[in-house]
């Protein structure tokens, strides 16, 4: 979208100073933790991306400097430096020192499309930095200005001239350590987001550099294919069904849509949706439009080409999404972000817009590529048959269980409490530990479900086999909230689902298998933070009549050192627990289940893309990527909770 329009300082709308930002940083950047810190970089980069979307910038570089400051540089037109008619200060200073400074939103024929704070970004970053410097190359001159905690500390000055080379903007900032918990940037966090931004802006080159390490670490993200290459990237460890990736882009009446998709031999689906380059994790109308279009276009093609016979059932939404990796990215002037985390697109007009265009383009694609179409049809047909088989099996179970007094699994020792918010269920590895847990528990609030051995790896099995598995059926009935499209969080019978496995490799494997099942079949449980891992002790230490439990090697070492210091000669007995089964029911309660003493780790996966990558590589069937992944270590267990 190119627009030839003189930009003058007069178009800048000024609202207020930056005090409110320093008073309530969370309101502007979400938090003052690591997420907020990295958000500063995105705010600045967003401004460069806007300049790229306007058609004037091709390259952005982001550098983490040795002192943990950040430099962002672009080859756009350079921020305007002309004097603001009312304020009498240069536009670039307004941009950095006034809140809500920036062109009127959508008012100048174009629209600001990248994510972030709608043009207040630079001033917010400035307010939250001890120091910030900006350099503009424009009109053959090099301009510079410096700021201190949001206020100008030097006037805008011409510091030189440039004869060769291009116009552009360069910014450096030092996050304020009195605002942020920590001011150290993490390369991988920036890498992930900048890569995503490059995929979303085809042709734009984004370079990331880390100057804290020797040699410098460096990545260059540049994708001529845009989100089509994003699909390739997401599917790198999966086998594709249609080799040729479906892709289209339409710009119409101030709206833009871009879709790319490919089927894989997997059973899970991965749909990533974006509005103005913001990842809409909770979906919204653009995503609904894409899903409807898929169901419609694929069914129409299947019927027209006799893959579905006249009196047979149409494909369901789940049938046409099995194994699908898809991206939908839309751009619009006034995006409405709704939902719990403001990550759901609320503009209803986007449903029809995405649906109509996708149906049209996907139909072309299928008709033009009958071989690819046939492979996709076969995938949908197998998915449909498997789902029908599973449904018939379920109906039979339902009929039989309706005759019984209770449909809860026999192995479940339920709790008496009926309020889910006060109830929890322990999934216990092995019948023997299950027995101790049943004896040791608080019967009112704690239910126990023993699991026998390794549960099925759902990553490698279609839903009919998954639902035939005894352990999985038990969990579904015990939780009470169904699964897949029929999942209903309001029916969940326990608000804490606690995985209690041995503190060894097998325990870790069982935990991963369970998480894979939850993530693929009951995703809201994971997203809502209902899943926890119990933390059984690793050691018991005895000295005379006193006993201690320790939960990590570090804790154990510290205890032993402390005991030695207090009483150098006393004998200590150390027991290393190899499994839950070695504890009697009293010990299990004391160390792992007692509400007042235990530690639970809440397991959350807030990023669908990261989670899909984790489960594909960890549970899939390709060995080299799994090895590489385990070496880079899995980082999906977050935030400690008691």
Considering the complex, state which of residue 87 and residue 608 has its C-beta at the smaller distance from ligand 28G: 87
Tokens of residue 422, six digits? 């006060």
Q: Which of 36, 39, 42, 51 binds ligand 28G (CB under 6 A)?
A: 51
Please, are residues 156 and 92 in contact by the beta-carbon 8 Å criterion? Answer: yes
- Give the number of C-alpha atoms closer than 13 A to the C-alpha of residue 586, restricted to the C-beta side: 0
Tokens of residue 632, six digits? 């880079």
Q: Which of 40, 63, 64, 77 binds ligand 28G (CB under 6 A)?
A: 77
Tokens of residue 59, six digits? 């390259």
- Adjacent-strand bridge partners of 498: 426, 532
State the nearest-atom distance from the C-beta of 344 to ligand 28G, in Å: 25
State the nearest-atom distance from the C-beta of 49 to ligand 28G, in Å: 9
Residues 150-209 that bind ligand 28G (CB under 6 A): 169-171
Residues 399-458 that bind ligand 28G (CB under 6 A): none
Considering the complex, state which of residue 119 and residue 440 has its C-beta at the smaller distance from ligand 28G: 119
Considering the complex, state which of residue 129 and residue 169 has its C-beta at the smaller distance from ligand 28G: 169
Task: Indicate whether 235 belongs to the interface with ligand 28G (CB under 6 A).
Answer: no
Q: Which of 18, 79, 294, 497 binds ligand 28G (CB under 6 A)?
A: 79
State the nearest-atom distance from the C-beta of 82 to ligand 28G, in Å: 10
State the nearest-atom distance from the C-beta of 263 to ligand 28G, in Å: 39
- Adjacent-strand bridge partners of 175: 129
State the nearest-atom distance from the C-beta of 115 to ligand 28G, in Å: 14
SS3 of 39, please? helix
* Beta-sheet pairing, 70-74 with 205-210: unpaired
CA distance 301 to 311: 15
State the nearest-atom distance from the C-beta of 50 to ligand 28G, in Å: 6
Q: Which of 90, 103, 150, 323 binds ligand 28G (CB under 6 A)?
A: 103
The region of 73-81, 349-357, 513-521, 539-547 touching ligand 28G under the rule CB under 6 A is 73-81
SS3 of 641, please? strand
DSSP one-letter code for 517? H
CA distance 586 to 549: 13
Q: What is the dihedral of CA 111, 117, 119, 125, to 10 degrees?
A: -150
Considering the complex, state which of residue 77 and residue 493 has its C-beta at the smaller distance from ligand 28G: 77
Considering the complex, state which of residue 38 and residue 238 has its C-beta at the smaller distance from ligand 28G: 38
Task: Indicate whether 114 belongs to the interface with ligand 28G (CB under 6 A).
Answer: no
State the nearest-atom distance from the C-beta of 104 to ligand 28G, in Å: 8
CA distance 317 to 287: 13
Task: Indicate whether 64 belongs to the interface with ligand 28G (CB under 6 A).
Answer: no
CA-based nearest residue to 52, from 223, 248, 202: 202
Task: Indicate whether 76 belongs to the interface with ligand 28G (CB under 6 A).
Answer: yes
| C-beta atoms surrounding 257 within 10 Å | 25
Q: Which of 36, 115, 119, 226 binds ligand 28G (CB under 6 A)?
A: 119
Helix (H) or strand (E) holding 255, with range, is strand 255-263
Please, are residues 568 and 412 in contact by the beta-carbon 8 Å criterion? Answer: no
Task: Indicate whether 73 belongs to the interface with ligand 28G (CB under 6 A).
Answer: yes
Number of residues near ligand 28G (by CB under 6 A): 20
Please, are residues 560 and 572 in contact by the beta-carbon 8 Å criterion? Answer: yes
Residue 224's Cα: distance from chain center in Å? Answer: 24
The region of 23-31, 42-50, 241-249, 610-618 touching ligand 28G under the rule CB under 6 A is 42-50
State the nearest-atom distance from the C-beta of 107 to ligand 28G, in Å: 8
State the nearest-atom distance from the C-beta of 60 to ligand 28G, in Å: 8
Task: Indicate whether 44 belongs to the interface with ligand 28G (CB under 6 A).
Answer: yes
Q: Count of residues for the chain?
A: 642
The region of 75-83, 125-133, 389-397, 437-445 touching ligand 28G under the rule CB under 6 A is 75-83
Burial 108-141 (b: 16+ CB within 10 A, else e): eebbbbbbbbbbbbbbbbbbbbbbbbbbbbbeee
Active site residues: 429, 502, 504, 506
The region of 43-51, 146-154, 242-250, 304-312 touching ligand 28G under the rule CB under 6 A is 43-51
Q: Which of 40, 47, 61, 354 binds ligand 28G (CB under 6 A)?
A: 47
Task: Indicate whether 72 belongs to the interface with ligand 28G (CB under 6 A).
Answer: yes
The region of 41-49, 202-210, 521-529, 532-540 touching ligand 28G under the rule CB under 6 A is 41-49
Residues 254-273 that bind ligand 28G (CB under 6 A): none
The region of 30-38, 100-108, 488-496, 590-598 touching ligand 28G under the rule CB under 6 A is 100-108
Distance in Å from the first CA to the final CA of the chain: 51
Please, are residues 516 and 458 in contact by the beta-carbon 8 Å criterion? Answer: yes
State the nearest-atom distance from the C-beta of 347 to ligand 28G, in Å: 20
Task: Indicate whether 499 belongs to the interface with ligand 28G (CB under 6 A).
Answer: no
Q: Which of 74, 256, 322, 417 binds ligand 28G (CB under 6 A)?
A: 74
**DSSP string of 397-430, one letter each residue:** HHHHHHHSS--S-TT-B--S---GGG-EEEEEES
Please, are residues 376 and 265 in contact by the beta-carbon 8 Å criterion? Answer: no
SS3 of 390, please? helix
Task: Indicate whether 112 belongs to the interface with ligand 28G (CB under 6 A).
Answer: yes
Q: Which of 80, 175, 323, 450 binds ligand 28G (CB under 6 A)?
A: 80
* Degrees to nearest 5, angle at CA 294 with 292 and 297: 105
Q: Could you list the beta-strand ranges (E) of 118-185.
A: 129-138, 141-148, 151-152, 157-161, 168-175
Task: Indicate whether 540 belongs to the interface with ligand 28G (CB under 6 A).
Answer: no
Which positions touch ligand 28G (CB under 6 A)?
7, 44, 47-48, 51, 72-74, 76-77, 79-80, 102-103, 108, 112, 119, 169-171
């Amino acid at each position: 979208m190119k627009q030839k329009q003189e930009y003058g300082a007069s178009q800048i709308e000024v609202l207020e100073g930056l005090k409110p930002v320093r008073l309530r940083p969370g309101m502007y950047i979400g938090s003052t933790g690591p997420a907020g810190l990295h958000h500063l970089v995105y705010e600045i980069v967003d401004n460069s991306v806007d300049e790229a979307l306007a058609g004037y910038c091709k390259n952005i570089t982001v550098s983490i400097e040795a002192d943990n400051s950040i430099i962002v540089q672009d080859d756009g037109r350079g921020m305007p430096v002309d004097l603001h008619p009312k304020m009498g200060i240069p536009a670039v200073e307004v941009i950095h020192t006034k809140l809500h400074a920036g062109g009127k939103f959508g008012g100048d024929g174009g629209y600001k499309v990248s994510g972030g704070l709608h043009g207040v970004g630079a001033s917010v970053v400035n307010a939250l930095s001890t120091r910030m410097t900006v350099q503009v190359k424009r009109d053959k001159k090099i301009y510079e200005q410096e700021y201190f905690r949001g206020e100008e500390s030097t006037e805008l000055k011409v510091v030189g001239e440039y004869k060769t080379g291009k116009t552009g903007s360069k910014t450096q900032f030092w996050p304020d350590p009195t605002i942020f918990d920590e001011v150290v940037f993490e390369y991988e966090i920036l890498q992930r987001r900048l890569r995503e931004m490059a995929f979303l802006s085809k042709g734009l080159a984004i370079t990331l550099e880390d100057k804290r390490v020797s040699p410098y670490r460096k990545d260059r993200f540049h994708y001529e294919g845009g989100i089509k290459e994003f699909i390739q990237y997401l599917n790198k460890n999966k086998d594709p069904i249609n080799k040729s990736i479906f892709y289209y882009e339409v710009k119409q009446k101030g709206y833009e849509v871009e879709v790319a998709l490919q089927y894989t031999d997997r059973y899970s689906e991965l749909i990533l949706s974006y509005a103005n380059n913001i990842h809409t994790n909770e979906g919204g109308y653009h995503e609904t439009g894409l899903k409807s279009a898929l169901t419609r276009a694929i069914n129409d093609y299947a019927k027209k080409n006799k893959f579905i016979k006249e009196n047979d059932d149409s494909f369901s939404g789940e049938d046409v999404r099995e194994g699908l990796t898809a991206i939908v990215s839309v751009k619009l002037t006034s995006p409405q972000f709704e939902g719990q985390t403001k990550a759901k697109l609320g503009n209803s007009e986007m449903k029809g817009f995405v649906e109509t265009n996708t149906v049209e383009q996907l139909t072309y694609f299928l008709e033009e590529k009958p071989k690819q179409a046939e492979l996709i049809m076969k995938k949908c047909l197998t998915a449909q048959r498997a789902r029908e088989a599973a449904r018939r099996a379920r109906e039979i179970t339902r009929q039989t269980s309706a005759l019984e007094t209770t449909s809860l699994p026999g192995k479940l020792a339920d709790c008496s409490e009926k309020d889910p918010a006060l109830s929890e269920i322990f999934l216990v590895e092995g019948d023997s530990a299950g027995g101790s847990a049943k004896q040791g528990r608080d019967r009112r609030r704690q239910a126990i479900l023993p699991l026998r051995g390794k549960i099925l790896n759902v990553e490698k099995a279609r839903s009919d086999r998954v639902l035939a598995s005894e352990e999985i059926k038990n969990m579904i009935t015990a939780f009470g909230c169904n699964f897949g499209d029929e999942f209903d969080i309001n029916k969940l019978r326990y608000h804490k689902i606690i995985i209690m496995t041995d503190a060894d490799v097998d325990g870790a494997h069982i935990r991963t298998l369970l998480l894979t099942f939850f993530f693929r079949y009951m995703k809201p449980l994971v997203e809502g933070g209902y899943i926890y891992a119990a933390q059984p002790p690793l050691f018991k230490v005895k000295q005379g009549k006193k006993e201690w439990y320790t939960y990590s090697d570090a804790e154990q070492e510290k205890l032993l050192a402390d005991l030695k210091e207090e009483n150098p000669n006393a004998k200590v007995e150390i027991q290393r627990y190899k499994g839950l089964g070695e504890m009697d029911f009293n010990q299990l309660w004391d160390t792992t289940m007692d509400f007042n003493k235990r530690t639970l780790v809440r397991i959350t996966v807030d990023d669908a893309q990261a989670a899909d990558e984790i489960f594909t590589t960890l549970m899939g069937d390709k060995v080299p990527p799994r090895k590489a992944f385990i070496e880079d270590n899995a980082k999906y267990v977050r935030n400690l909770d008691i």
